Structure 1
């Protein structure tokens, strides 16, 4: 399925209270390619192959369902770091949802939050809650595809 994804991404200043009361999705994902982005992901008991077009604030995205066997086969072919994280879906004002990602393993110091929007105008007019930190939407080092290839906060030369 194709859609246009419009999202902003932030560091996290403070983890919200009562995190265990929100919907949680445990994820494992790896990258078959990072330019263009081709990713496989396990979301609880669902499996997805994703192709993402270029762009930071907005980009096209195609999601195709996989079965467990296909996911496991493709995951073995992924390069770089296999990312493991828990995503919490936290309701915000104006029918928006914050997707808080708490990374695991070697990336456990990283916590990011994303919010998806229906339009670029809505994204531009968004005022983040107090618990959000720095806006890193346009900083490619915080994209999961970059992190899988280079790790945390390294510049490409």
Structure 2
């Protein structure tokens, strides 16, 4: 009996070409694109939140397997491809211009997500990215911390204002939130 063939996303060939082009053009390896992060719910907001840099983000998804996202962060536009995984996965970011972003925005599926992101520096050069979601996901608040290695990620002790660690709970991936029926 033959094994069942894996169903490919209609975007699979395109993302493989883009990924290959980026890697060859910039002489970089797959390891250069590993995103290692932990994600937490928030029990309470930190003091002096308004003293930290804040970005306005809106994002939508062209595809969720693999993740293909477009994002506007303030006046920057980015296309992102993310591989599979929970704490560690490949991530490739390509800049877009506003015209390309608006064109792709019309092609997104599901819920468009908007949020405020506060960037809070912590020890060892790390930073907390605290996302406060707008409707319809309010009052959801998530914090992400990116690490240079899995060892550092596993050793991280979160601040007291963090809640439950949801790193391995796919329900808190933005790509999943985009698919939730509201």
**Bin for the TM-score computed over the shorter chain:** over 0.9
5+ residue gaps in structure 1? 153-157
Secondary structure at the residue paired with 1:54? coil
> Which portions of structure 1, spanning 4 or more consecutive aligned residues, are displaced by more than 4 angstroms?
none
Structure with bigger RCO (C-alpha 8 Å, 6+ apart): 1
Per the TM alignment, residue 109 of structure 1 is displaced from its structure 2 partner at its CA by 1.2
Runs of at least 5 residues in structure 2 that lack an aligned partner in the other structure? 1-21, 23-31
1:71 to 2:101 alignment: yes
Larger CA Rg, structure 1 vs 2: 2
Distance 2:86 2:53 in 1: 26
Higher strand share goes to which structure?
1
| 2:143 aligned partner | 113
SS at match of 1:106: coil
CA-atom RMSD in angstroms: 1.2
Looking at structure 2, the residues matched to 139 and 60 of structure 1 have their Cα atoms a distance apart, in angstroms, of: 18
Instruction: Summarize deviations over 1:87-117 as a string: whole Å, max 9, x none.
Output: 0001112221010000002111100000000
Give the whole-Å Cα distance in 1 for the aligned partners of 2:162 and 2:142.
9
Give the TM-score, by structure 2 length. 0.81
Task: Output one character per residue of 1:18-47: Cα deviation in whole Å (capped at 9) or x when no partner.
Answer: 111101111000000000000000010000
**Which of 50, 54, 58 pairs up with 1:28?**
58
Q: Which residue of the partner structure matches residue 10 of structure 2?
A: none
Number of aligned positions between the proteins:
152
Match of 1:61 in 2: 91
Q: Distance in 2 between matches of 1:71 and 1:151?
A: 24
**Matched residue, 1:155:** none
Give yes or no for the alignment of 1:93 onto 2:123: yes
